[in-house]
Amino acid sequence: MSTTKPRVLTGDTPTGRLHLGHYVGSIENRLALQDQYDCYFLIANKHAFTTRADRPAEIRQSVVDIATDWLAVGIDPERSAMVLQSEVPAIDELTFFFSMLLPFNRVLRNPTLAQEIKDKDLGDKYPFGFPLYTVGQCADILAFRPQLVPVGEDQLPHLEMTREVARRFNQLYCGVDPQTEDADHLARGGLMPVIEPKLGRVKRLVGIGAPNAETGQLHKMSKSLNNAIFLSDDADTVRKKVMSMYTDPKRITGKEPGEVDPAKNPLWAFHETFNSDAPWLQEHRELYRAGKVGDVVVKKKLVEVLNDLIEPIRTRRKQFELRPDEVIEALRRGTRRANQVAEETLALAKQAMKQDYFARTLSIP
């Protein structure tokens, strides 16, 4: 299936199921783009091995979970390719070449990498493959030479690295002048686009837990941090999670007006993000600030709002859960399409690097 539409690439690591952060950070954009763009959505199963090489069965389950979540939220496998990273070998081949284009210390200085080492409590025990995954992600993206990459804010350092790799590749192997503007690289003969990130409506949705004890900052909602509301949570789980959600204890200080800074108070951050009832919000924000309404009322409303959003997703998900073969089949077809594009990129890259001795193709039956 070849198409002339510009391409979109993004993906998720199978370290759990999809949560509300994915929804506002990336999924909403994916759904909006799948008509006008040739979309490739990647399940980065190899990257899951960075932190759970000892738990392959968990990773396998999570691949199926994420793919099922995608279908449940409305990713249409007829239009968008659902791609399994481990079956697109061109990505690995590009990773090796790209790893030569980035100084080692540049990779280690990637701030998202540093944050993940902290958040996931990896200390200095993380494997060699952990920093390598950031180079792998440059290849995940550039293998598809996409025009747009919809992501959450935490991905921006990875995307900046991807832009550096693209510039360097084009300069070294395609004769692109170093002074060339990013947007002009392709027109000047570059193979790799200097991609633009496309941030979601909410760049970084916070989790439901307490802030970081050292910095006072709320954590981002994350599969790995045990602070997520999942798109597959049942109504009662959503209720329990919301009712026990952290709220800033200083919110009502008696004489002083309460603290309603969403950065410190996930409850309001969630309302601002998901509650479209503007009059309710305005009224209750005032009442809350004045100490005339407590957490329980605001939380109960949030339970309603979130369950309204999640219910149709949950219902569709149940149908796909009964048809696991269909989920795998969607991955097989999407991965086959992905290999067509990625193999073409790899062949062009090898040509540019003067390593095109004879042809080679790969296909999935």
The count of residues interacting with ligand ATP (CB under 6 A) is 18
Amino acid present at 261 = D
Report if residue 33 touches ligand ATP, rule: CB under 6 A.
Answer: no
Instruction: Answer positive or negative: Cα dihedral of 131, 67, 27, 92.
Output: positive
Using CB under 6 A as the binding rule, whether residue 327 contacts ligand ATP is answered as no
Closest CB 228 distance from ligand ATP, rounded Å? 7
Q: Which helix (H) or strand (E) holds 268?
A: helix 266-274
Q: Is 12 in the site for ligand ATP (CB under 6 A)?
A: yes
By CB under 6 A, residue 205 contacts ligand ATP = yes
**Nearer Cβ to ligand ATP, position 12 or 65?**
12
CA gap 181, 211 in Å, rounded: 41
- Applying CB under 6 A, the span of 221-229, 302-310, 332-340, 343-351 interacting with ligand ATP comes to 221-229
Q: Is position 223 an interface residue for ligand ATP (rule: CB under 6 A)?
A: yes
- Asked whether position 155 contacts ligand ATP by CB under 6 A, the answer is yes
Instruction: Please give the structure tokens belonging to residue 99.
Output: 């790893």
Give me the least distance between CB of 220 and ligand ATP, in Å please. Answer: 4
Q: Which is nearer to ligand ATP, 218 or 342 (CB)?
A: 218
Taking a C-beta distance cutoff of 8 angstroms, is the pair 260, 285 a contact? yes
Minimum CB distance to ligand ATP, residue 196 (Å): 14
181: Cβ contacts below 8 Å, ≥ 6 apart: none
Could you give the CA distance from residue 247 to residue 298 in angstroms, rounded to a whole number?
11
- The residue from 9, 59, 90, 151 that contacts ligand ATP (CB under 6 A) is 151
By the rule CB under 6 A, 85 interacts with ligand ATP: no
Q: What six digits make up the tokens of 245?
A: 């959600």
3-state secondary structure (DSSP) of residue 216? coil
Q: Which residue is nearest to ligand ATP (CB)?
A: 25
Dist CA 159 CA 142 (whole Å): 10
Cα separation, 115 vs 361, in Å, equals 39
Q: Is 239 in the site for ligand ATP (CB under 6 A)?
A: no
Scanning 214-222, 247-255, 310-318, 351-359 for contacts with ligand ATP by CB under 6 A, the matching segment is: 214-222
Give min distance, CB of 131 to ligand ATP, in A. Answer: 15
**Secondary structure of residue 253 in the 3-state scheme:** strand
* Residue 221 in contact with ligand ATP, rule: CB under 6 A: yes
Binding to ligand ATP by residue 197, rule CB under 6 A? Answer: no
Binding of ligand ATP at residue 154 (CB under 6 A)?
Answer: yes
Q: Which is nearer to ligand ATP, 21 or 146 (CB)?
A: 21
**Min separation Cβ 15 and ligand ATP, Å:** 3
Q: Which two tokens stand for residue 156?
A: 């921006």
**198 makes contact with ligand ATP (CB under 6 A):** no
Strands of 81-84's sheet, edge to edge? 81-84, 38-43, 7-12, 148-151, 196-199
What is the nearest approach in angstroms of ligand ATP to the Cβ of residue 154? 5
* Dist. CA 70–CA 68, nearest whole Å: 5
DSSP sequence for 144-205:
T--SEEEE-GGGHHHHHHHHHHHHHHHHHHH---TT--GGGTTTTT-SS---EEEE-SSS--
Q: Tell the smallest beta-carbon distance from residue 129 to ligand ATP (Å).
A: 15
The CB-of-204 to ligand ATP minimum distance in angstroms stands at: 5
Phi, psi of 43 (to 5 degrees): -95, 110
**Residue 21 touching ligand ATP (CB under 6 A):** yes
CB of 219 to ligand ATP, least distance (A): 9
Binding region for ligand ATP (CB under 6 A): 12-13, 15, 21-22, 25-26, 151-152, 154-155, 204-205, 220-224
